[in-house]
Amino acid sequence: MAKPVSVEVWNPNGKYRVISTKPMPGTRWINLLIEQDCRVEICTEKKTILSVEDIIALIGNKCDGVIGQLTEDWGDTLFAALSRAGGKAFSNMAVGYNNVDVNAANKYGVAVGNTPGVLTETTAELAASLSLSAARRIVEADEFMRAGLYDGWLPHLFVGNLLKGQTVGVIGAGRIGSAYARMMVEGFKMNLIYYDLYQATRLEKFVTAYGEFLKSNGEQPVYWKRASSMDEVLREADVISLHPVLDKTTYHLINKERLATMKKEAILVNCSRGPVVDEVALVEHLKQNPMFRVGLDVFEDEPFMKPGLAEMKNAIVVPHIASASKWTREGMATLAALNVLGKIKGYPIWGDPNQVAPFLNENAPPPAACPSIVNAKALGLPVSKL
Q: For 30-50, what is each residue's pLDDT tens digit? A: 999 999 999 999 999 999 999
> What's the pLDDT tens digit per position in 261-314?
999 999 999 999 999 999 999 999 999 999 999 999 999 999 999 999 999 999
Give the mean model confidence (pLDDT) for residues 110-117: 96
pLDDT band at 102 (very low <50, low <70, confident <90, very high): very high
Residue 187 φ then ψ, to 5° = -75, -35
> What's the pLDDT tens digit per position in 171-212?
999 999 999 999 999 999 999 999 999 999 999 999 999 999
Buried b (16+ CB within 10 A) or exposed e, 127-136: bbbbbbbbbb
Strand ranges inside the chain, DSSP E: 7-10, 16-20, 38-43, 65-68, 89-92, 111-113, 167-171, 191-195, 224-226, 239-242, 267-270, 293-296, 315-317
- CA–CA gap between residue 203 and residue 18 (Å, rounded): 41
- Evaluate whether 370 touches 347 at the Cβ level (below 8 Å): yes
pLDDT recorded at residue 2: 57
From residue 195, alpha-carbon distances to 181, 243, 247 in Å are 12, 10, 17
Helix (H) or strand (E) holding 4: none
pLDDT band at 4 (very low <50, low <70, confident <90, very high): confident
CB proximity list for 249: less than 8 A, separation 6 or greater: none
Give the mean model confidence (pLDDT) for residues 77-83: 98
**Hey, what long-range contacts does 48-56 have (CB within 8 A, 24 or more apart)?**
48/303, 50/5, 50/21, 50/22, 52/77, 52/78, 53/2, 53/3, 54/2, 54/3, 54/5, 55/21, 55/81, 56/2, 56/81
- Evaluate whether 112 touches 105 at the Cβ level (below 8 Å): yes
Within a 10 A sphere around the Cβ of 285, how many other Cβ atoms?
22
Which residues are the active-site residues? 273, 302, 320
Over the chain, what is the mean pLDDT? Answer: 96
pLDDT band at 1 (very low <50, low <70, confident <90, very high): very low
pLDDT recorded at residue 378: 97
Within a 10 A sphere around the Cβ of 122, how many other Cβ atoms?
21
- CA–CA gap between residue 183 and residue 168 (Å, rounded): 11
pTM over 0.75: yes
- Evaluate whether 318 touches 296 at the Cβ level (below 8 Å): yes
Q: β-pairing, 89-92 with 65-68?
A: parallel
Give the mean model confidence (pLDDT) for residues 233-243: 98
CB proximity list for 266: less than 8 A, separation 6 or greater: 237, 238, 239, 240, 292, 293
From residue 21, alpha-carbon distances to 173, 210, 220, 224, 263 in Å are 33, 46, 52, 45, 44
CB proximity list for 207: less than 8 A, separation 6 or greater: 181, 185, 192, 222, 223, 224
Q: What is the amino acid identity at position 187? A: G
First to last CA, the chain: 46
Crossing angle of helices 138-146 and 120-135, in 10° steps, is: 60
- CA–CA gap between residue 118 and residue 122 (Å, rounded): 8
> What's the pLDDT tens digit per position in 321-337?
999 999 999 999 999 99
- CA–CA gap between residue 8 and residue 27 (Å, rounded): 13
pLDDT recorded at residue 347: 97
